[in-house]
Amino acid sequence: MRIIINISGFLLAAIVFVAPNILYANNNDSIQNKISLASEKILNLKTVWSNSSNAGSLQFFDIQDKIAKAYINFNHQNGDFHLFQQEQLNSELGFYTNGYVNLNNWKFYGDFNYFKQTCEDLKWVDVLEPYNDNPYVLGDSVGGTYYKEYFKMRGKAAYQINENLAFGIDIKYKAGVGARRKDPRPENEITSFDILPGLIFNFSKIKLGVNFRYESGKEDIELNFVTDNNYNFYHFKGLGAYTISTETDVRSNVSNLFGGGLQLNFDGNKFTNLTEVNFHKKTTDIKRGETYPLQIVLLEKSNTSVSSTFLFLHTNKTIKKLTLHLNDNHIYGHEPVVEPKLEQVSYQWNTVAKYTLYWHNEQELVVNYSCYKLIDANHFNWGYKVSGKIITSESSYYFVPESNEQSLNYYYFDGVLEKELQTKLNNIILSFNGSYRKGFNSSSEIVKDDILLETINNEFVKHDFDYYNSQQIQIGGSFQFGRIINIYNSQVQIFLNTDYKLLISKMNENSKRNIFSIKLGINF
């Protein structure tokens, strides 16, 4: 499915909508400062349910009437860490809008996002999303500039059935296309549909929730040419292993996910706690060809996450929020292996033995702490957030009897300090942020056999391993400016947001990456 949406249409719509608000702003005395750059941030800070997977939790958001925004944005990244399948430059232009609405017994949330991406100097990858926990990636050595286009939308609704029961449903949809205008020319189409229904039982100070999840996704890859030249295509399999093919069959990745979650909420006199357990299993069936698809791999991913959030809300309007999060992830790559006893091979599971050749196990422990001094429901005086993360992982790819093995462990700290300034009409938020990452107790062992080494890209494996074990420092800041205006007795806020980050890796002197973004929009 092609996305036929022109970004100029969104730009024109934004100009047409924003310009009258600026030109016809009414008398300042008639304006009451009810909306702010921080309205959505504070709305999420004031509930432990802000990151819950249960859509029924929307009933516990303090939505008085509505909160909404729309903006156009430009994001730019440049600088090369020389990571495997990473582009040198990434530019993105898009439009985003979201909103919360309270309507009788219903509460709604929705968002819409459309953006175009240009990825320059991108090699060894012919898929739209190379960093999605799937090591079985198609690529070529030619590379070039990849042009990508995405359309994402989400709708969430929660209904209060009675004082003891709330129902919610969360639906997400994503579609994207991509292409490269240089032989070989991969053309990609990607779609995914995600639905999460849920129930929450309210017993005064205790709330119990349950939700289910189903996701279906697909990516199709076609290879086209203008010239008659032949090219090698690399089917990567994890930890540098690959096979080479000159065949240009259509390749498809079809995935299905089933899962659910359980929630326990306790409302005490001094604090509120939400503890949540989520789990899912995802299978991705990767094949090539259309008439008789040849099996490449069946990828299985199992995930369990546990989080516990504590919220401390004092009478002096100081919000303190602590979140502990543990994530456990397992990925297995089941590949068909031809056995000598077979006379005919169709590369299907019923005729070829299936072996688990790729294995990955990863645990992530995260601690987040936020503290904000509020002025009212839409403004804060100052605030900060600090977090720490430890990731430990083990990966193996088997060449019986040898194997590639890697243990990768690193810790990560980051923080942000924010200050809000306001007058009757103007609103400014200044933010300063930084982070630090370093590897520890990691190890890597690559096969020694000369024949096996011919099918391993050892250079990329070693480089990425050194990158995650080296120190990385990030520094940056953001400036947000908003101005309240009044049009036809309705109050809105136009805003400008700029953000800059500099990432520096200590792996070598030239490992730097600049990240810049700018947003122009309206809160209403």
| Average pLDDT value for the chain | 90
Q: Are strands 144-162 and 106-122 parallel, antiparallel or unpaired?
A: antiparallel
Please state the φ and ψ torsions of residue 305, each to the nearest 5 degrees: -130, 140
Decide: helix, strand or coil at residue 459: helix
pLDDT at 10 over 90: no
Q: What's the pLDDT score for residue 345?
A: 58
Q: How confident is the model at residue 269 (pLDDT cuts 50, 70, 90)?
A: confident
d(CA 342, CA 352): 8
- Across 159-163, 254-258, 442-446, 484-488, least confident range: 484-488
Decide: helix, strand or coil at residue 342: coil
- Across 6-20, 185-199, 397-411, least confident range: 6-20
Q: Is 315 within 8 Å of 331 (Cβ atoms)? A: no
Q: What's the pLDDT score for residue 350?
A: 67
Nearest to 507 by CA among 445, 446, 456, 462: 462
d(CA 501, CA 60): 34
Whether residue 14 lies inside any domain: the answer is no
Q: What's the pLDDT score for residue 204?
A: 84
Q: How confident is the model at residue 64 (pLDDT cuts 50, 70, 90)?
A: confident
In total, how many domains does the chain have? 1
Summarised one tens digit per residue, pLDDT across range 321-369 is 999 999 999 999 999 876 655 555 566 676 677 899 999 999 999 999 9
* Average of per-residue pLDDT across 9-25: 37
* Average of per-residue pLDDT across 119-126: 93
Summarised one tens digit per residue, pLDDT across range 162-204 is 999 999 999 999 999 999 999 999 999 999 999 999 999 999 8
Whether residue 246 lies inside any domain: the answer is yes
Q: Is 389 within 8 Å of 412 (Cβ atoms)? A: yes
- The model's pTM is 0.89
d(CA 112, CA 353): 45
pLDDT at 20 over 80: no
Alpha-carbon distance values, 272 to 205, 312, 398 (Å): 9, 7, 48
Q: What's the pLDDT score for residue 6?
A: 41
Structural domain span for residue 56 = 35-424+437-472+506-513
Summarised one tens digit per residue, pLDDT across range 411-422 is 999 999 999 999
- Of residues 79 and 17, more confidence is placed in 79
Q: Which of 166-175, 292-301, 371-380 has the highest mean pLDDT?
A: 166-175
Whether residue 282 lies inside any domain: the answer is yes
Q: How confident is the model at residue 78 (pLDDT cuts 50, 70, 90)?
A: very high
Q: Is 119 within 8 Å of 83 (Cβ atoms)? A: no
pLDDT at 287 over 50: yes
Q: How confident is the model at residue 491 (pLDDT cuts 50, 70, 90)?
A: confident
- Of residues 491 and 252, more confidence is placed in 252
Whether residue 11 lies inside any domain: the answer is no
Whether residue 487 lies inside any domain: the answer is no
d(CA 381, CA 376): 9
Give 329's strand partners.
303, 362
For residue 130, what is the DSSP state? Answer: S
pLDDT at 139 over 80: yes
Q: What's the pLDDT score for residue 510?
A: 76
Question: What is the number of residues in the chain?
Answer: 524
d(CA 205, CA 56): 17
Extended strands (E) in 204-343: 206-224, 233-238, 241-245, 251-267, 272-288, 294-313, 318-337
Alpha-carbon distance values, 182 to 139, 142, 143 (Å): 14, 9, 8
Q: How confident is the model at residue 82 (pLDDT cuts 50, 70, 90)?
A: confident
Whether residue 312 lies inside any domain: the answer is yes
Give 101's strand partners.
66, 108
Q: How confident is the model at residue 2 (pLDDT cuts 50, 70, 90)?
A: very low
Amino acid letter for position 32: Q
Q: Are strands 206-224 and 402-422 parallel, antiparallel or unpaired?
A: unpaired
d(CA 351, CA 336): 9
* Average of per-residue pLDDT across 137-153: 95
d(CA 266, CA 424): 39
Whether residue 521 lies inside any domain: the answer is no
- Of residues 400 and 132, more confidence is placed in 132
Q: What's the pLDDT score for residue 35?
A: 81
Q: How confident is the model at residue 424 (pLDDT cuts 50, 70, 90)?
A: confident
pLDDT at 213 over 70: yes
Nearest to 239 by CA among 461, 471, 467, 502: 461
Place of tokens 């205790």: 206
Q: What's the pLDDT score for residue 347?
A: 64
Whether residue 16 lies inside any domain: the answer is no
pLDDT at 110 over 90: yes
* Average of per-residue pLDDT across 78-104: 94
Nearest to 274 by CA among 329, 328, 200, 168: 200
Give 463's strand partners.
none
